[in-house]
Amino acid sequence: MVTFKIERFDPDVDKAPYFKTYEVMAEKEMSVLEALFYIVENLDGSLAFRYSCRGAVCGSCAMRINGKNRLACQTLIKTLRAKTITVSALPHLPVIKDLVVDMDHFFAKYEKVKPYLINPSPAPAKERTQSVKERARIDEMINCILCGACYSACTVAATDPQFLGPAALTKAYRFLADSRDAARGERLKLVDGEHGALRCHTLFNCAEACPKYIVPTYSIQKLKGGLYGKQS
Amino acid sequence: MLNNLKKESILACQSGVGMWAFLLHRLTGLALIFYLLMHIMVISTSLRGPHAFNQLLAVLTSQPFIIADLGLLAAVLFHGLNGIRILFFDLGVGIRIQKIIFWAVIAAAALIWGVTLYLTLPFIMGK
Which residues of B fall within a CB distance of 8 Å from A48?
Answer: none
| Pick from A207, A134, A132, A136: nearest CA to A169 | A207
Spatial separation of the C-alpha atoms in residues B64 and B79, rounded to whole Å:
23
Give the amino acid at A204. F
**What distance, in Å, lies between the first and last C-alpha atoms of chain B?**
69
Residue B18 Cα to chain centre, angstroms: 17
- Contacts (Cβ under 8 Å, ≥6 apart) of B112: B73, B77
* Dihedral sign from CA coordinates of A177, B93, A149, A162: negative
Spatial separation of the C-alpha atoms in residues A96 and B65, rounded to whole Å:
55
**Residue B16: per-residue pLDDT:** 86
- CA-to-CA separations, B18 to A69, A204, B82, B103, in angstroms, rounded: 16, 5, 11, 11
User: What is the H or E stretch that residue A139 is in?
Assistant: none
- Tell me: pLDDT of B127 over 80: no
Give the amino acid at A182. A
What average pLDDT score do residues A15-26 get? 94
- Per the CB < 8 A criterion, the answer to whether B1 and A11 are in contact is yes
What average pLDDT score do residues A163-187 get? 96
Mean residue pLDDT of chain B comes to: 90
Strand arrangement of the beta sheet that strand A84-88 belongs to: A18-24, A2-8, A84-88, A62-65, A68-71
What average pLDDT score do residues A177-202 get? 96
Position B65 in a domain: yes
Give me the CATH number covering residue B51.
1.20.1300.10
Give the amino acid at B124. I
The distance of B115 to chain A (nearest Cα, Å) reads: 30
Position B5 in a domain: no
**Residue B1: per-residue pLDDT:** 38
Report, in angstroms and rounded to the nearest whole number, the Rg of chain B calculated over CA atoms.
20
**Residue B14: per-residue pLDDT:** 64
Position B1 in a domain: no
Give the residue on A whose Cα is nearest the Cα of B23: A203
Spatial separation of the C-alpha atoms in residues A147 and A56, rounded to whole Å:
9
Whether residue B6 and residue A69 make contact (CB cut-off 8 A), yes or no, is no
**Residue B124: per-residue pLDDT:** 84
Phi and psi at residue A50, to the nearest 5°: -100, 145
What average pLDDT score do residues A180-184 get? 95
Which residues of B fall within a CB distance of 8 Å from A159?
Answer: 10
In a mutational test of the A interface, the residue from B6, B84, B101, B103 whose CB has the highest number of chain A CBs within 10 Å is B6
Rounded to 10°, the helix B63-90/B98-124 angle is 160
Whether residue A91 and residue B6 make contact (CB cut-off 8 A), yes or no, is yes
Spatial separation of the C-alpha atoms in residues A47 and A221, rounded to whole Å:
40
Per DSSP, the three-state class of A129 is coil
User: pLDDT class for A196, splitting at 50, 70, 90?
Assistant: very high
- Tell me: pLDDT of B107 over 70: yes
Model confidence over A134-153: pLDDT tens digits?
Answer: 999 999 999 999 999 999 99
Which residues of A fall within a CB distance of 8 Å from B20?
Answer: none
Give the amino acid at A24. V
- Per the CB < 8 A criterion, the answer to whether A197 and A154 are in contact is no
Number of domains chain B is built from: 1
Work out the percent of chain A whose per-residue pLDDT is above 90.
94
Model confidence over A96-109: pLDDT tens digits?
Answer: 999 999 999 999 99
Among the partner-chain residues A95, A205, A222, the one whose CB lies closest to the CB of B4 is A95
Q: In this complex, is the C-beta atom of A89 within 8 Å of any C-beta atom belonging to chain B?
A: yes
Quick count: other Cβ atoms within 10 Å of Cβ A99?
25
pTM for this structure?
A: 0.90
What average pLDDT score do residues A36-52 get? 97
ipTM entry? 0.87
Quick count: other Cβ atoms within 10 Å of Cβ B41?
10
- Contacts (Cβ under 8 Å, ≥6 apart) of A41: none
**Residue B2: per-residue pLDDT:** 45
**Residue A177: per-residue pLDDT:** 96
Whether residue B13 and residue A95 make contact (CB cut-off 8 A), yes or no, is no
Domains of chain A: 2-101 (3.10.20.30), 104-227 (1.10.1060.10)
**C-alpha neighbours within 13 Å on the C-beta side of residue A24:** 29
**Range(s) of the domain holding residue B118:** 16-124
Among the partner-chain residues B16, B21, B95, the one whose CB lies closest to the CB of A208 is B16
Position B28 in a domain: yes
The distance of A122 to chain B (nearest Cα, Å) reads: 35
Mean residue pLDDT of chain A comes to: 95
Rounded to 10°, the helix B98-124/B17-44 angle is 40
Position B2 in a domain: no
- Tell me: pLDDT of B7 over 70: no
